[in-house]
Structure 1
Amino acid sequence: MPTHPSGLSAVPDPVSDSAPASIAERAAAPRTLQVPTAGGLTWRPWTRADVPALTELMNAVEKADGRDWFISSGEVEELFDAPVFDAASDTLVGLDADGTMLAHGSVERYPTTGVSLLRAGVTGGVHPTRRGEGIGTELLAWGTGRARQALAALGTDPEVAGLPGRISAHILDVDPPERHDLLRAAGYEPMRYYANLLRDLSAPVPAIGLEPPLRLVPWSDALEDATRLARNDAFRDHWGSQPRTAESWRAHRSAFAPQWSFVVIDESVLYEGSEQEQPGDTTVPPGTPYVVGLHLGERYEHDWESQGYTAGYTGLLGVRRAYRGRRIAAALLTHAMHVYAADGMQRAELDVDTDNPTGAPALYARLGYTKSDGSTLHTIEL
């Protein structure tokens, strides 16, 4: 199951009054990329026709790494529809003489509208039968170089050229220890830690209500962008979180479970619309209910057999900063847990930044969640 990690904001130079170096300079991008030569594989970009074979390869890598959950073909397919994606430049797959896929790599880029940090994420893997040949080392070098190129290209935009940049790679605790060494050798450092939490739904779940004028309502298309703006405000003080655009908000929804998703509105507020809240954003008209909290549920049914339990997954839980301390998060999460249980789920599951600034880990502990595993975000700061 995916996790969703992000990055830091800029720190001004206390000594120099000059403008910061452009990301084009700081990224130190290579002029050309060296395609891996180790292992004697043939390399080319991904295509949509590769989705089944890519999914099979990624699952083989994940299984060899000791995971009990796996990427689905729907999740691979939706990578091609990401807001910023160019398969020709951002992906590689390595094939043997028979055309069998044995290694993959990709670089994820993100929209830059309204951001305070420029980001690129590197992912990849080598089939367990071809490890130890140096393929992973060279594939990581390619991915890091491509990420540097992608960030450097943003230097042509004066609105973002001076922002800090980050290249990231995510590793699970169950992944081979040498993978951490591989990243360190490539210049990455561990930056942030995450915990995957489980809650047994056979244990009693408390019922936590809301005081009027707050009201919990189902997720709806009519409130999609109002919910997005609530998410952006809720996560504004989270480490590295960047605002979602209308397009990026609707991306990566293959696991979205609308029946497990809810929002809280404040019925006392006559909302003036997104233009008032975020100048230039006209996606939410005046008079739209004012969303102050959200729970986005996800369903990873393809993992239930390998995990040994069924689960409702909380992909996002957030509360506008001005509304914290009113038990909104607890009301949303416990309501979701009741709905999960009513749908026959055995566990509630979520992932959390262990240094979450809202005290979320303490809330989850009070509600009976316990850690099942964890992960680390490694980064190169630019």
Structure 2
Amino acid sequence: MSLAEPVETALPTTTVAERAAAPATLPPVTAGALTWRGARRDDAGALHALQDQVSAADGEPFRVSLDEVEETLAAGYRDLDADFLLGFDDDGVLRAFAQADVRPGDRTAARAFVWGGVHPGRRGEGIGRELMAWGIARARQKLATSHLAGERVPAWIAVHSEDDAPASRVRLYEHAGFAVRRYYSCLGRDLAQPIPEPVIPGQEAGAASSAHAGAAAPSSSGSSLRLVAWTPELDEPARLARNDAFRDHWGSQPQSQVTWAEDRDQFMAPWTWLVVDDAPDVDALLASPDTDEETAAALRAGQPLVVAYNWAARYEQDFAVRGFTFGYSENVGARRAYRGRGLARAALAAGLRAMAGDGMQYALLDVDTANPTGALGLYAGLGYEKLDGSRMWSIEV
């Protein structure tokens, strides 16, 4: 069995808090003779500089922007003093950091994520191993006090790496007890190649071709589906569509309104396209056991129903690293009741045309290699090819 394949297991018989085995105190970090403290919002510049140096040294195909770091430090659900550990040298220069995170929207699995890095010039001093031990211990504490602490649901602590990560990072993860749990592929598509028209069922192909120009594609007679660019009033319906689309994806958890609003500094509204159903069968959806409570409430309130989407972003700081300009699809999906109709393909094609119209050379996205919805076939059919890959490592709790 591939490590990427989901494993069906019975629900745990003990709570997350019991299994987390949270330590009363965190292990000290003494290696490197650095001065350690929690984070502050005005550390964003130093954190950004260090993360950029770490990514460059490790050959990662991306960079984190200053805006992203500032957003991370501004999130109200993070305790900057307790969830971050920053190490400074005698000159006050940041040389190492670690962070432990638990997202507030998780419902059926409790997930903790650990990040960190050591300046390339300070590696080999044992700082990384001690930081990792601190991060795992803090992750256990956060799991044990999270909103899912009393639930009997799966839980894990996770880190990520590129497939070609340095051997030192692989050794660090293995020494800490992590094992590879999931594989992901970064796919790219040359936007100079012809892009299919974003046609949805019940629409004339010619009418849908206006999608790349920023106008809603009008529905033909008898069709209640519309392909439209993102607007603020469709933001919450898009969140609900994303949560429904990814309910059957391994490890995915709902986006709360708080986490959904994060990471917007790179968001590209003109590249983000949605399919809206103006006349859904509300009675059938409300009667379906697959309809989640938030969607049901929105239907009763007469809110718009987004049924498919392509959520896009522009990571300009990565252009030089990749060697080309590109638009990035953060998330592509369709509600489970609307799958098999080509709606996600239409939204993605509209996004590709918008990216090309803005002069981007490529379109990129990441996909779980064991995606259960046929997404790999969808992307291959639109001309995407694998560029590189990454993996998730975990410690099961």
Residue 381 of structure 2: aligned partner: 366
Residue 132 of structure 1: aligned partner: 124
Post-superposition offset of 1:285: 6.3
Residue 302 of structure 2: aligned partner: 287
Post-superposition offset of 1:214: 1.9
Residue 207 of structure 1: aligned partner: 197
Q: TM-score by structure 1 length?
A: 0.90
Residue 234 of structure 1: aligned partner: 245
**Code of the aligned partner of 1:294:** Y
**Is residue 277–residue 307 contact of structure 2 (8 Å, CA) maintained in 1?**
yes
Output aligned runs, 1:251-262, within 5 Å. 251-262=262-273
Residue 11 of structure 1: aligned partner: 9
**Is residue 102–residue 146 contact of structure 2 (8 Å, CA) maintained in 1?**
no
Q: Single out whichever of 229-238 and 300-309 deviates more from structure 2.
A: 300-309
Residue 354 of structure 2: aligned partner: 339
Q: Does 1:96 pair with 2:89?
A: yes
Post-superposition offset of 1:7: 12
Q: Does 1:197 pair with 2:187?
A: yes
Structure 2, unmatched stretches of 5+, are: 202-222
Output aligned runs, 1:153-302, within 5 Å. 153-154=145-146, 158=150, 161-211=151-201, 212-269=223-280, 277-279=291-293, 286-302=301-317
**Is residue 16–residue 149 contact of structure 2 (8 Å, CA) maintained in 1?**
no
Post-superposition offset of 1:150: 0.6
**Code of the aligned partner of 1:111:** P
Alpha-carbon separation, structure 1, partners of 2:170 and 2:377: 29
How well do the aligned residues superpose, as a CA RMSD in angstroms?
A: 2.3
**Is residue 10–residue 116 contact of structure 1 (8 Å, CA) maintained in 2?**
no
Post-superposition offset of 1:10: 8.1
**Code of the aligned partner of 1:181:** R
Post-superposition offset of 1:330: 1.2
Between the two proteins, the alignment pairs up a number of residues equal to 368
Post-superposition offset of 1:280: 6.5
Alpha-carbon separation, structure 1, partners of 2:82 and 2:72: 14
**Is residue 5–residue 370 contact of structure 2 (8 Å, CA) maintained in 1?**
no
Alpha-carbon separation, structure 2, partners of 1:307 and 1:154: 38
The structure-2 alpha-carbon separation of the partners of 1:280 and 1:292, relative to structure 1 and needing over 3 Å to count, comes to closer
The structure-2 alpha-carbon separation of the partners of 1:83 and 1:163, relative to structure 1 and needing over 3 Å to count, comes to farther
Post-superposition offset of 1:84: 2.6
Alpha-carbon separation, structure 1, partners of 2:5 and 2:131: 23
Alpha-carbon separation, structure 2, partners of 1:171 and 1:271: 43
Alpha-carbon separation, structure 2, partners of 1:263 and 1:155: 32
Post-superposition offset of 1:271: 5.1
**Code of the aligned partner of 1:123:** W
Structure 1, unmatched stretches of 5+, are: 1-5, 14-18
Fraction of identical pairs, as percent: 44
Alpha-carbon separation, structure 1, partners of 2:149 and 2:159: 25
Of the candidates 55, 59, 71, which is equivalent to residue 66 of structure 1?
A: 59
Post-superposition offset of 1:195: 0.7
